Every structure is written in C-alpha cells, then in structure tokens.
Amino acid sequence: MAEAIQSLEQEFCKRNEIMKARFQPEFTTLYDRITEEVARTTALMTQELSQVREQLTQLCSRLERIRLQLDTVTRAHAT
C-alpha cells in the first residue's frame, strides 16, 4: 500500500513538473505583458495627475484673485 502511494506521489510530481515546464513560457509571457501594461498605465496616470494638479493650482490662483477682488469691492462699499 505504501509503495502504491509513493508511486502515485512520484507520478503526480512528474506530471506536475511536466505541466510547469509546458506552461511556464506562457506564464512568463503573460507576466511580461502585464508588467508592461502596468508601467504604461502608471506613466499615463502620472501624466494625467500632473495635468490635474496644474489645473487645480490655476483654479486656486483664480479663486484667490476673485476673493481679493471681492474684498476690495466689499471695502469700497463699506466706506
């Protein structure tokens, strides 16, 4: 019985190694493609975030100018 189990374990390990060898190139190719896609997407998102940051900076400056104008108008009407 122990010999049969050992034989089955060896057969399982052998088939497992064959399957690993067979599919490893496909897994490697898929991993490489995913890595490239993640890098491309990360670069694109970085660029988009930079643009959004610039737009927010411009918007904050514009809002500050409007606030100053409102302060000026408010002070002019108060006097």
Residue 8 to residue 40: CA distance in whole angstroms: 46
| Residue 19 confidence (pLDDT) | 94
Q: What is the pLDDT of residues 49-79, one digit of tens each?
A: 999 999 999 999 999 999 999 999 999 998 7
| Residue 31 confidence (pLDDT) | 97
Q: How confident is the model at residue 4 (pLDDT cuts 50, 70, 90)?
A: confident
Q: What is the pLDDT of residues 27-44, one digit of tens each?
A: 999 999 999 999 999 999
| Residue 39 confidence (pLDDT) | 98
